[in-house]
Structure 1
């Protein structure tokens, strides 16, 4: 009888040990949450709050880091203070890499936010007066884009630029004798009381609570729009990072596109859905 109790005791101890080891093993196999810092323009915060929720199921914790200008997010990315950023178009990224000798890469398309012409003084292009003051973004890529928009709108004519990047020096026909004022992109919306018209980026307009429906001209999206496709960027070493790929996939979804349209209007385009 004692022998049988002894055997039973040994069996129970062994069983408890197996259960304990199994439990510890199970805990050890749980997927650890990965934290990714994402640098964005503050206007895009609602988009990234949705993406943050979407990737929770993949054990990814997104920390949103907001920036108010176009220079800090890439600097922070190069210095590994961020994992990825999402604020710039392809041309801006290319120009940044050349100017700063960096190797940031696009890992996914996000949207195309058409630029638009806004005014507090005129309600249509035909009412733009002679000698009108026009504010434009002062960084080279967005200045070029703004000028091409004004040409598209029929207000000016540009000569071909040798480096494919026109500036105000390339304006060869200016029938309204427009007076150009180049400002930091974030200041173009604030300049509306001081100028006749302003060419404003979509995210800057949204941050200033300007609605696309209130603009007097919106940039057309066509094959020439490819350089202006906004992207998610990472350091080159992380171009195939599986966690970042999951974030890109979460971005490129219909529910995110609905938020984009709510923020920037129906003219904003999900760049992953179009061929340019």
Structure 2
């Protein structure tokens, strides 16, 4: 083999190697899926990310500081999915903002709770005490329903109650409305506050110290947390794999281990079926 032919053969083999390597590099076709969340406790989602990695799916969590940002980011295509909201919140958001965001799968239900740094029980609430609740429509209504179930107030009939719908308030409680993320911080000033589970977790509040916790019943279905997508993506096979990975026995066991009865897997929780 003369030098010229040898050089051609070498170049040919090198070209084949490059093609083969390129093919190997693309064989996994890893897909990155951005998921908007609130709060910084990512332990369950980190476990889900490990499960779907074998399917060539890379989950990238995008943290938001309040409940107004994740749906805006999803609607504008800045994220692919989000997992922070209840069915009720999502439906209300769509009506208010004319968006088309849908649920593609249930995750869990996280009861709201009434916390206090000054009181150890409901019976210690005094006449005129101040209580903070979230100010967004769905969480405000949910918080008021919690106060009803705690026998602190009664409400007029309303699909989505506000403080204006309070019918009776025997203790003359002064109920203030704050951004949900601020409710835990208000405990230094208020007698008590109704706090969402994720906000309580970020604030290092122990659910066991809550002076009252929301009851989970069949009526709690609107408050089940979901994985949401834009309607056009509801049948995306990659997103369905993420939902399937989340709704698995090992993730249910992990949720139970981490949160006990304060964050319950909704997809197999009989009372919600």
TM-score (norm 1): 0.88
Distance 1:113 1:45, change over 3 A: same
- After TM superposition, list the pairs within 5 Å mapping 1:74-89 onto structure 2: 74-89=71-86
- Correspondence 1:97 to 2:94: yes
Aligned residues: 258
Distance 1:156 1:241, change over 3 A: same
8 Å contact kept, 1:206–1:264: no
8 Å contact kept, 2:130–2:173: yes
The separation in 2 between residues aligned to 1:233 and 1:176, in whole angstroms, is 40
- After TM superposition, list the pairs within 5 Å mapping 1:96-175 onto structure 2: 96-161=93-158, 164-175=159-170
Aligned to 1:225: 220
The separation in 1 between residues aligned to 2:102 and 2:257, in whole angstroms, is 28
Distance 1:248 1:44, change over 3 A: farther
8 Å contact kept, 1:34–1:59: yes
The alpha-carbon deviation at position 171 of structure 1 amounts to 1.1
SS at match of 1:129: coil
The separation in 2 between residues aligned to 1:141 and 1:215, in whole angstroms, is 21
User: Which of 209, 214, 234 lines up with 2:209 in the alignment?
Assistant: 214
**Cα deviation digits, residues 49-73 of structure 1 (max 9, x gap):** 1111111000001111111110111
8 Å contact kept, 2:144–2:163: yes
8 Å contact kept, 1:110–1:271: yes
User: Which of 14, 27, 31 lines up with 2:28 in the alignment?
Assistant: 31
Aligned to 2:256: 261
- Correspondence 1:65 to 2:62: yes
Distance 1:262 1:67, change over 3 A: farther
- Correspondence 1:50 to 2:47: yes
Aligned to 1:201: 196
**Cα deviation digits, residues 61-94 of structure 1 (max 9, x gap):** 1111111110111111111111101010011111
Aligned to 1:9: none
Note the residue ranges of structure 1 that are not aligned, 5 or more in a row. Answer: 1-12
User: Which is greater in Rg?
Assistant: 1
The alpha-carbon deviation at position 256 of structure 1 amounts to 2.1
The separation in 2 between residues aligned to 1:239 and 1:76, in whole angstroms, is 17
The alpha-carbon deviation at position 121 of structure 1 amounts to 1.1
CA RMSD of aligned residues (A): 2.0
Q: Structure 1 residues 103-112 or 30-39, which shifts more?
A: 30-39
The separation in 2 between residues aligned to 1:136 and 1:169, in whole angstroms, is 14
SS at match of 1:266: helix
